[in-house]
């Protein structure tokens, strides 16, 4: 406890002579990314994801979405898959699809999940202007599904796309920031894992998933 | 700790000479910093309003620093409410001690680490290894540096001093990677090596980019996924932050995290922005069972009381390093301690004490490229000048220098003396210069200049003469 009190009192002493900076105004803040008011959010989201080496697969029906997922899994000869509980996916029938394809669902430990060829998740929402997915951890929503397997497949309905990070924060503010208290891990995912450590030369596919696939389901009506 | 501080004691001029002669380093710096600068400029230019946003980010940091102790207490309350623990460390030695105790408490034998500059301040890896704990840096660059037995030379790109060729040789010699000059193949190779490390680790240690007081959330920023893996897979997550990392609100986070990505790497957002609020909840399927936040002072509270308080606004994006003509030529290691480049030239003497890094405030041409690049508008050149003043007042210069500056000041205050002096200098240098108008040699104390380059004779007519003629013409 004494280190804590020493540090806090040293900081208080430092500020005793007055604030180091003039008291800043609290005018509304300008959002960072440019986005035209009439810009199509879906089109922008798709373009941004592709820019950061993710793939968006658009589906006009649940059936088509399941066919896309089936194709992604069979193309990669997946034998094991980890996934969020179906209650947290915007699309039913994934468990049945895995059964049909003879794919084992793994989820009990990190070691088991690490053997999966793909992880299937939903997403809380998506940010159009940066091509970002927002995932919060919770019951039936393991964080490893978007992290350990080499392929991450996220299923999302179009109505979950908001313009910018600032809009997502404003929406959470309206909910009294509840998600940041109830979920121990919220992750913003923008594209496939990458590095520029070697001579600042961009390389995709480092420690996180090598491939990011977003199955985007068009809203009916 | 000790070996790092001793490096500061090496004469700075000697480190610089070595760096300038290192062809591999020069190649790596040219390739790296050029890409870094152009990526940042492009990414900032396509925002809604770069100047307004930088000011907004600056105000977010000022708001936090004005209320630092209150925000830290709020952060602590909320981390505890989220089920985490908060520990405090006055200095580097205490930081290592606190983390070692956590290792012992949880029976930790293997640690994976996400990138953290603050743990470089305490040389944490050595401290843990001395107690038989295996520490693996998981960031690609940090891992390669660790393999090579080196320290980071850049805040964001730790192995900026290494060419891809040198990296390939290292991975070949240490781990048997087949030789290649393709960064893609090297990266994939390291991915394979690292996989099992994450699953075997008992503890993950990370830095903190921002700590959001109002919900007790720590935010980390990364592209590789190593940080997510390091802190989500093991049973225990320890996050280490300097006291200055706390911010007030999520709205402040939104602007800061985006300017950080654009300034550091030219991205709109980094690939993984991880927001951690305590350990896994009882009903959550995975994630660490224990979460500890360690808050380090290590000299920062002392800085807050001084005119250098704005150096604490730094968000460690590394843009000033890439933009600096001095950094571009000497790289990070020549600066001698954890934080290189323009911001390092301020932070190192402030954190270590001015006598430990006396030359760093002079390692700048004061061209202002650093301030122009800074996403939080830190007046770096001003502070470098003030640090030089402090050094002079503390009695740094030699008597000769002191007398010289006194004479200079007298001449500058008197137009007649200045005119006389400049005429004399012009006449003398033109008389002594060779045919090409350069002096090969100057007497002491000016021989410092001619030791490495010729000195140009002053031109005729002088600026003052030309200016006077122009004024009479119009």
Question: Which residues, numbered 127 to 156 in chain A, qualify as contacts with chain B under a Cβ-Cβ cut-off of 8 Å?
Answer: 127, 129-132, 137-144, 147-148
Cα–Cα nearest to B30, from B161, B187, B164: B161
Are the C-beta atoms of residues B321 and B373 closer than 8 Å to each other? no
Residues 6+ apart with CB under 8 A from B84: B216, B277, B278, B279, B291, B292, B293
Are the C-beta atoms of residues B36 and A197 closer than 8 Å to each other? no
Average pLDDT, chain A: 95
Look at residue A94 and tell me if it is in a domain: yes
Q: What is the rounded distance in angstroms from the CA atom of residue B263 to the CA atom of residue B39? A: 8
Q: What is the rounded distance in angstroms from the CA atom of residue A159 to the CA atom of residue A124? A: 11
Cα–Cα nearest to A139, from A87, A104, A181: A87
User: Using one digit for the tens of pLDDT, what is the confidence trace for B213-270?
Assistant: 999 999 999 999 999 999 999 999 999 999 999 999 999 999 999 999 999 999 999 9
Q: A221 CA to chain B: closest CA distance, Å?
A: 32
Look at residue A105 and tell me if it is in a domain: yes
* ipTM here: 0.97
Number of domains comprising chain A: 1
Q: A40 CA to chain B: closest CA distance, Å?
A: 18
Is A28 or B234 the better-scoring residue by pLDDT? B234
Q: B446 CA to chain A: closest CA distance, Å?
A: 39
Q: What's the predicted TM-score (pTM) here?
A: 0.92
User: Using one digit for the tens of pLDDT, what is the confidence trace for A42-54?
Assistant: 999 999 999 999 9
Give the pLDDT score at A80.
98
Helix (H, G, I), strand (E, B) or coil at B337: coil
Look at residue A62 and tell me if it is in a domain: yes
Q: What is the rounded distance in angstroms from the CA atom of residue B197 to the CA atom of residue B191? A: 10
Neighbouring CB atoms inside 10 A of B285's CB total: 19
Average pLDDT over residues A155-160: 97
Delineate the domains of chain B, giving CATH numbers in brackets.
2-301 (3.40.50.10420), 317-393 (no CATH), 411-473 (no CATH)
Give the pLDDT score at B397.
67
**Residues in A touching B285 (Cβ below 8 Å):** 107, 139-142
Closest-approach residue (CA) in chain A for B181? A198
- Disruptive mutation site among B284, B289, B312 for chain A (greatest number of A CBs within 10 Å): B284
Q: What is the 3-state secondary structure (H, E, C) of B14-34?
A: HHHHHHHHCHHHHHHHHHHHH
Q: A89 CA to chain B: closest CA distance, Å?
A: 16
User: Using one digit for the tens of pLDDT, what is the confidence trace for A95-120?
Assistant: 999 999 999 999 989 999 999 999 99
Are the C-beta atoms of residues A130 and A190 closer than 8 Å to each other? yes
Give the pLDDT score at A160.
97
pLDDT at residue A161 tops 60: yes
Ramachandran category for residue B414: left, alpha or beta (phi over 0 → left; psi -120 to 50 → alpha): beta
Per-residue b or e along B453-469, where b marks 16 or more CB atoms closer than 10 Å to that residue's CB: ebbebbeeeeeeeeeee
Residue A48, chain B, CB below 8 Å: the answer is: yes
Strands B455-456 and A125-127 turn out to be unpaired
Look at residue A144 and tell me if it is in a domain: yes
Neighbouring CB atoms inside 10 A of B289's CB total: 12
CA angle B433, B438, B440 (to 5 degrees): 85
**How many alpha carbons lie under 13 Å from residue A93 in its C-beta half-sphere?**
12
Look at residue A31 and tell me if it is in a domain: no
Burial of residue A1 (number of CB atoms within 10 Å: 0-12, 13-18, 19+): exposed
Interface contact flag, A193 B272, Cβ < 8 Å:
yes
Q: What is the rounded distance in angstroms from the CA atom of residue B338 to the CA atom of residue B142? A: 13
Average pLDDT over residues A164-168: 98
Give the pLDDT score at A1.
56
Instruction: Give percent above pLDDT 70 in chain A.
Output: 97
Residue A108, chain B, CB below 8 Å: the answer is: no
Burial of residue B110 (number of CB atoms within 10 Å: 0-12, 13-18, 19+): middle
A143: domain CATH number is: 3.40.50.10420
Sign, CA torsion B131/B4/B91/B300: negative
Q: What are phi and psi of B367, to 5 degrees?
A: -75, -20
**Residues in A touching B35 (Cβ below 8 Å):** 196, 199-201
Average pLDDT over residues A172-198: 95
Q: What is the rounded distance in angstroms from the CA atom of residue B335 to the CA atom of residue B330? A: 8
Nearest residue, CB atoms, B225 vs list A6, A139, A206: A206
Q: What is the rounded distance in angstroms from the CA atom of residue B346 to the CA atom of residue B389? A: 13
CA angle B175, B179, B185 (to 5 degrees): 85
Q: What are phi and psi of B222, to 5 degrees?
A: -160, 170
| Structural domain boundaries enclosing A80 | 40-194+202-217
Give the pLDDT score at B6.
42
Look at residue A17 and tell me if it is in a domain: no
Interface contact flag, A180 B212, Cβ < 8 Å:
yes
For residue A153, what are the β-bridge partners?
A120, A213
Give the pLDDT score at A220.
66
Chains A, B: CB pairs < 8 Å? 280
Residues 6+ apart with CB under 8 A from B367: B325, B381
Look at residue A29 and tell me if it is in a domain: no
Per-residue b or e along A18-51, where b marks 16 or more CB atoms closer than 10 Å to that residue's CB: eebbeebeeeebebbbebeeeeebbebbbebbee
Q: What is the rounded distance in angstroms from the CA atom of residue B108 to the CA atom of residue B201? A: 8
* Residues lower than pLDDT 50 in chain B: 1-9
Residues 6+ apart with CB under 8 A from B276: A184, A185, B217, B218, B219, B220, B231, B237, B239, B291
Look at residue A93 and tell me if it is in a domain: yes
Q: With residue B323 as reference, give the H or E element that holds it.
A: helix B319-323
Are the C-beta atoms of residues B238 and B294 closer than 8 Å to each other? yes
For residue A185, what are the β-bridge partners?
B276
Interface contact flag, A30 B48, Cβ < 8 Å:
yes
């Amino acid at each position: 406890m004494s280190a804590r009190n020493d540090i806090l009192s040293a900081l208080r002493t430092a500020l005793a002579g007055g604030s180091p900076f003039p008291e800043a105004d609290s005018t509304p803040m300008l959002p960072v990314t440019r986005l035209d008011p009439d810009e199509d959010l879906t089109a922008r989201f798709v373009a941004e994801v592709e820019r950061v080496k993710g793939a968006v697969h658009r589906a006009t029906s649940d059936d088509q979405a399941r066919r896309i997922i089936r194709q992604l899994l069979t193309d990669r000869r997946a034998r094991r898959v980890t996934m969020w509980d179906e209650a947290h996916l915007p699309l039913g029938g994934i468990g049945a699809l895995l059964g049909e394809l003879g794919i084992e669902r793994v989820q009990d430990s990190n070691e088991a999940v690490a053997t999966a060829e793909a992880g299937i998740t939903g997403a809380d929402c998506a940010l159009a202007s940066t091509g970002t997915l927002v995932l919060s951890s919770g019951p039936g929503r393991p964080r490893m599904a978007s992290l350990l397997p080499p392929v991450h497949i996220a299923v999302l309905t179009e109505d979950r796309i908001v313009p910018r990070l600032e809009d997502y924060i404003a929406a959470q503010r309206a909910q009294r920031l509840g998600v940041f208290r109830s979920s121990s891990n919220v992750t913003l995912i923008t594209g496939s894992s990458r590095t520029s450590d070697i001579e600042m030369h961009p390389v995709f596919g480092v420690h996180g998933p090598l491939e990011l696939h977003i199955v985007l389901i068009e809203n009916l009506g | 700790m000790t070996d790092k501080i001793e490096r500061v004691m090496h004469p700075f001029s000697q480190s610089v000479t070595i760096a300038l002669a290192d062809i591999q380093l020069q190649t790596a710096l040219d390739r790296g910093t050029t890409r870094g600068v152009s990526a940042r400029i492009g990414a900032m230019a396509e925002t809604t309003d770069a100047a307004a946003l930088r000011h907004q980010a600056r105000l977010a940091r000022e708001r936090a620093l004005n209320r630092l102790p209150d925000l830290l207490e709020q952060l602590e309350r909320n981390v505890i409410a989220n089920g985490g623990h908060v520990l405090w460390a006055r200095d580097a030695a205490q930081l290592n001690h606190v983390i070692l105790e956590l290792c012992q408490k949880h029976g930790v034998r293997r640690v994976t680490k996400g990138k953290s500059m603050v743990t470089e301040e305490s040389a944490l890896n050595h401290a843990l290894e001395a107690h038989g704990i295996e520490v693996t840096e998981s960031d690609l660059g940090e891992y390669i540096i660790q393999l090579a037995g080196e320290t980071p030379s850049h805040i964001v790109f730790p192995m900026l001093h290494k060419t891809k060729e040198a990296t390939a040789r290292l991975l070949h010699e240490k781990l048997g990677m087949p030789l290649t000059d393709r960064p893609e193949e090297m990266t994939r190779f390291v991915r394979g090596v690292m996989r099992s490390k994450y699953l075997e680790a008992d503890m993950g240690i990370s830095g903190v980019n921002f700590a959001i007081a109002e919900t007790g959330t720590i935010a980390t920023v990364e592209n590789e996924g190593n940080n997510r893996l390091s802190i989500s897979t093991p049973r225990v997550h320890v996050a280490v932050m300097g006291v200055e990392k706390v911010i007030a609100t999520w709205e402040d986070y939104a602007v800061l995290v985006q300017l950080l990505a654009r300034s550091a790497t030219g991205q709109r957002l980094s690939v993984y922005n991880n927001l951690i609020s305590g350990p896994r909840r009882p009903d959550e399927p995975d994630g660490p069972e224990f979460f500890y936040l360690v808050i380090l002072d290590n000299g920062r509270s002392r800085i807050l009381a001084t005119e250098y308080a704005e150096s604490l606004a730094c968000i460690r994006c590394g843009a000033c390093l890439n933009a600096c003509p001095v950094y571009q030529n000497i790289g990070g290691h020549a600066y001698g301690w954890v934080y290189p480049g323009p911001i390092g030239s301020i932070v190192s003497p402030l954190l270590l004490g001015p006598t430990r890094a006396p030359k760093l405030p002079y390692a700048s041409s004061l061209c202002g490229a650093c301030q122009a690049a800074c996403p939080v508008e830190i007046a770096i050149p001003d502070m470098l000048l003030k640090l030089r003043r402090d050094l002079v007042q503390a009695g740094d210069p030699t008597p000769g220098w002191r007398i010289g500056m006194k004479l200079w000041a007298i001449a500058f205050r008197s137009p007649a003396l200045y005119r006389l002096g400049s005429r004399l200098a012009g006449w003398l240098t033109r008389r002594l210069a060779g045919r090409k108008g350069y002096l090969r040699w100057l007497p002491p104390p000016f021989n410092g200049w001619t030791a490495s380059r010729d000195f140009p004779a002053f031109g005729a007519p002088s600026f003052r003469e030309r200016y006077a003629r122009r004024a009479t013409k119009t």
